[in-house]
Structure 1
Amino acid sequence: MEPEDDKSETSTSISTLPDSILCHILSFLPTRTSIATSVLSRRWRHLWKHLHVLNLDGYSFNTPELSRDHVEDRFVDFVNEVLHQVQVRRIQKFRLEGEVRNYSCTLSFWIDAVTSEPHLQELYLSLWNTSGSFYTLPYSVFSCPSLVSLVLKGDIIVSFDNLKSLQLPSLKNLDLEIISTELDKLLSLCPALETLKVFIFFNSGGIDPNEIHVPRSLKRLTLESEACDSTVDHLEIHTPSLEYLDIALVACYSQISVRTYPNLVEACLNICFDDMHIDWMPKLLNAVCGTKFLALQASTTACLICVPSLEFPQFCCLVRLQIGFEFFNSRVLIDLLHCCCKLEALLIHACESVSYGCLYGEPVEPSSWTQPVSVPSCVVSHLSIIEFRDYEDLEEEHEFIAYVIERGLVLKTVTIHTRTFTDQEIKDHILKKLSVVPIGSSICQLKLE
């Protein structure tokens, strides 16, 4: 129990803070909680009305004894009262989440009210409808000149009859995980966009994108699409300032147009195994060859393995490589290591599942160990960390690990993770086999987990 004098001191110290600081503290709370502080004292009674941040959560009204219609009515009344009491003109951040069933018109009224004001910088909408219908976002969202960040999630549709007078000149961050959007039209409204995160739902009853052209101003791009039999004709990523790239393409993409990215720091490629993807994979790999951190998921590796006469580009800046395999392939990995002269950390994930496109051919088959003609330079001079997940102690896996342990002159740690439920006897056998391999580095530690 806190002593009375300590409570008094705490209360006194809080009461000495100016209203602006107290409002800033309240802005980190759900608005419903902020309003509850009005009972503390006369000074707190109207403090919440000066908030610049509104966080309105419809799910917080759910209780077992109330019907969904009753919960919805209470939430609508609450938001109406909040917007009536606060100074809407001063709102900088507006967050609204909940289930939309019977109040679409009222919802549009709220959104129009906050987006028409000059100070709104961040808008977050997470709206879901279990009845199967969708909510069409009002145009006012796309003509808000002050908006810097826009996050849309749920059963929302974004469509445009006319782009005239629509523009988001200040928008830097766009995060979309909605049922349908005319993505190319929306992106054309964002000339200053720097961060784009998109999850595309295909065959959802909405509008499937045929072409995607991302803004040249982008610095961070995360693009993901769900598994389906749909095809995107053209994906264009002409973004010279790109620093981060994470693409998970499970739908089929007929053509991809890329440029070199001189500022790229990190890239993660998860491209489903598909005949048409095999054709353009080398072009994408060349575009990201300047990155420092690279992750190739198993589906991507499967595409690369099937590229006829594949020649890897030189990854002169790469220091960390994460690579997945459905079936471990030492030949491809050794070829890749020859092109990574500064590689310091290698993370291998065997037995990863592979996602397939709509036009895939034969699955990738297991390979076998072949002694390399020469040792990759990074193994001798830079490689200090190796981690191998889902290790099964197949002959090819063992020979590869033994090869790099023996020739890795600066290795610090080699960590082997066996598959889940591997019994201790097998683990002991694996460790015994690797323990007799000559170690090239005097400081190398071999760990089996």
Structure 2
Amino acid sequence: MDRISGLSDDLMIKILTSLPTKLAVSTSVLSKRWECLWKWLPKLEYDDTDYSVSERDRLRCFLDRNLPLHRAVVIESFRLHLNNQHFKREDIKLWLLFAVSRCLRELEVSYSNRRKRNISLSCLYNCKSLVILKLKGAIVVDVPRMVFLPSLKTLELRKVTYSDEQSLQRLLSICPVLEDLSVELWDGNKLGKLAFSITSLQSLTLDLQGVLDEFLIDSPSLKYLKLKDVHKDNYSSLIGNMPELREGHIDVAYSDIDNIIISITSVKRLTLCSSAYGDNYGEDFFFNKLEHLKLCLDRFRAPDLFVRLLKDSPNLRVLDLYEMEDMDHVDDLEPWTQPSTVPECMLSSLRIFSWSLYFGRPEERDVAVYILENAPLLETATISSVDWFVPKLEMIKELSLSSLASTTCRLVFD
């Protein structure tokens, strides 16, 4: 202990910063040398998960008494995870006001309240130093007038409440350099229309939960897009061209997704799960940069359309097929006649093939055999089954008897 105590304050604070805040504070009892060191910590995290009532009381008293005594000029991150209505909203606001006053760079607040008493955090929206903001739970987004978040680059909103239909739009409008946006709505939200027109945005994750009437995505610098909405079958949507997009994850139940697909054809990695990707499949889709395709067969029941997608992806190297675990909602693939031609990617670029939750139905077997018998450059083929649904020995026997086009392919069964 004496050797550690001989270190400089700066070095000791760096060591304490690597510890959980609760443990770092406990070092104050070691000696007078350690008594106040924790008050210089630039990263603070308080989490009452699994706390008893008495422990929550002690945490509240500690924050009330000691936060005002904290000495760090800059707080790099402040994380507050409170899972009980035991904490008063007025106290939480005071704690956050303190953090904001110390040139706060990263703030994460998760607040659960069974009484559905949301907390307003309007004090946050004029923090010039804030770079990362993450809010979750019983928090109301109510953006006042004349506020600005000039440094905010990352914004994450998970199942929060919005004061009115325009509050989220107002929040986005005061973030001129926003790069990473993640929004998870819930069925209590009523937002009507949303426009994600942010020129600086590079990553966008949306879980819409079927609560919007209309949305617009116009972010030409976007490199990553994840769009999920399995609760609504139709939308009025407009998605602009995204020439920089490199990775897309689409899981929707819309009756027409042509507008989405035509905007993401520049991707290198694509995960697609949509029941609409069928009759509305466009003639102008061409994924000339696509290298990794992950396809959900539960929503994509027509094998001939699956082959069309492969034909439109001439440089595909990795093909990953998967099915949902809930068998109550899985229908058989439509009858399939093996096509007379083979997609270019299977002949010249496909290296890795995998199938997760393979159930061994005749149509599935035909598709798997078709790929194995027509991909001469295949290096690895991994088939994962459910033991209770298809005997593994039978599955191995069926697929192993296929005439593999690749003499070096390693066939793996999980």
Normalised to the residue count of structure 2, the TM-score between the two structures is 0.91
Measure, in 1, the Cα distance between the counterparts of 2:92 and 2:357: 49
- Matching residue of 1:158: 141
Correspondent of 2:152 among 166, 171, 189: 171
- Matching residue of 1:315: 287
- Matching residue of 2:272: 296
Change (3 A) 1:332 1:17: farther
Amino acid at match of 2:267: T
Moved over 6 A (4+): none
Measure, in 1, the Cα distance between the counterparts of 2:218 and 2:363: 40
Measure, in 1, the Cα distance between the counterparts of 2:149 and 2:91: 24
The answer to whether 1:389 aligns with 2:356 is yes
Measure, in 2, the Cα distance between the counterparts of 1:369 and 1:355: 23
Secondary structure at the residue paired with 2:35?
A: coil
Change (3 A) 1:417 1:32: closer
The answer to whether 1:185 aligns with 2:170 is yes
Q: Does the 8 Å CA contact 2:81/2:111 hold for their aligned counterparts?
A: yes
- Structure 2 unmatched ranges of 5 or more: none
Correspondent of 2:236 among 255, 261, 264: 255
Change (3 A) 1:41 1:110: same
The answer to whether 1:237 aligns with 2:217 is yes
- Structure 1 unmatched ranges of 5 or more: 1-7, 357-362
The answer to whether 1:401 aligns with 2:385 is no
Q: Does the 8 Å CA contact 1:347/1:386 hold for their aligned counterparts?
A: yes
Q: Does the 8 Å CA contact 1:180/1:208 hold for their aligned counterparts?
A: no
- Matching residue of 2:393: 428
- Report how far residue 304 of structure 1 moved: 0.9
Change (3 A) 1:156 1:351: closer
- Report how far residue 269 of structure 1 moved: 0.6
Change (3 A) 1:120 1:347: same
Q: Does the 8 Å CA contact 1:306/1:364 hold for their aligned counterparts?
A: no
- Matching residue of 1:74: 58
- Report how far residue 248 of structure 1 moved: 0.9
- Report how far residue 209 of structure 1 moved: 1.4
1:202-245 Cα deviation digits (max 9, x unpaired): 22xxx42112222221111111133x6x4x12212111111111
What number of residue pairs does the alignment pair up?
406
- Report how far residue 48 of structure 1 moved: 1.1
Amino acid at match of 1:111: L
Please show how residues 261-410 of structure 1 align to structure 2 within 5 Å: 261-272=242-253, 277-279=254-256, 281-297=257-273, 300=274, 302-307=275-280, 310-311=282-283, 313-326=285-298, 328-351=301-324, 366-410=333-377
- Matching residue of 1:360: none
Secondary structure at the residue paired with 1:55?
A: strand
Amino acid at match of 1:93: S
Q: Does the 8 Å CA contact 1:250/1:355 hold for their aligned counterparts?
A: no
CA RMSD of aligned residues (A): 2.4
Q: Does the 8 Å CA contact 2:60/2:87 hold for their aligned counterparts?
A: no
- Matching residue of 2:413: 448
- Matching residue of 2:403: 438
Measure, in 2, the Cα distance between the counterparts of 1:88 and 1:355: 56
The answer to whether 1:46 aligns with 2:36 is yes
Normalised to the residue count of structure 1, the TM-score between the two structures is 0.84
- Report how far residue 263 of structure 1 moved: 2.0
Change (3 A) 1:167 1:374: same
- Greater CA deviation, 166-175 or 26-35? 26-35
1:130-187 Cα deviation digits (max 9, x unpaired): 23322222x2200001100001112111124x42x21111000111113312321211
Measure, in 2, the Cα distance between the counterparts of 1:245 and 1:16: 50
Measure, in 2, the Cα distance between the counterparts of 1:247 and 1:405: 32
- Matching residue of 2:204: 221
Q: Does the 8 Å CA contact 2:347/2:377 hold for their aligned counterparts?
A: yes
- Matching residue of 2:85: 100
Q: Does the 8 Å CA contact 1:56/1:79 hold for their aligned counterparts?
A: no
Q: Does the 8 Å CA contact 2:40/2:72 hold for their aligned counterparts?
A: no
Secondary structure at the residue paired with 1:256?
A: strand
Measure, in 1, the Cα distance between the counterparts of 2:398 and 2:56: 65
- Matching residue of 2:226: 246
Change (3 A) 1:17 1:286: farther
